[in-house]
Copies of this chain bind each other. A is one copy, B any other.
């Protein structure tokens, strides 16, 4: 029903996460309606990001150039490393302003079913960073999902053996701030109970 280039744009847009056929159509018609400048600015931004943004050689966070801004920042505490699954996990943590250490991005989580084994993640590079002896604490901030938890347990295990001097911590589980008990799932609520503290 559409001209071929329109169909192509719709199917490319529909590959974006959370974008179904309908939304892709709506976005495509928006792109057709706006000025050439506005549309090409988006096309160029996609191209530019793929051409210029790579991964930090130290922590595998996103970086323009060999090292990311956080690894280049001398004020960050090299004694604490926060381990996350993806570069996008760095942002919410930075937003809390609670963490002044450095990061290590694993590039995913262990998932034998999906064929993701330890050697597919940046775990050896993490061990090498710990080997330098500067790191006191490793905060494991992988997701609170089955694969994220499995990865955390695997790392804790490995580190007990290979870097016994490093304290391994995990982000607390519990009720989200502002949450209604009524709407909390039982696993979260159960954990919040087990981790209760005196006031």
Q: Give chain A's interface residues, CB within 8 Å of chain B.
A: 1-6, 8-9, 12-13, 15-18, 23, 25-33, 36, 38-50, 52-53, 62-64, 69, 86-88, 91, 94-95
Contact = CB atoms under 8 A, between A and B. Distances in A.
A12 to B, nearest CB: 4
Contact of A9 (B6, B18, B49): B49
A50 B39 CA distance: 7
Q: Interface of chain A, helix or strand or loop or mixed?
A: helix
A41 to B, nearest CB: 5
Given A15-B38, A30-B17, A43-B46, A53 B5 contact: yes
A197 to B, nearest CB: 31
Nearest to A47: B43
A88 B2 CA distance: 10
Contact of A3 (B30, B36, B41, B53): B53
Contacts of A47: 39-40, 43
Given A16-B30, A25-B91, A45-B12, A5 B64 contact: yes
Nearest to A36: B50
A129 to B, nearest CB: 22
B29 A40 contact: no
Nearest to A65: B3
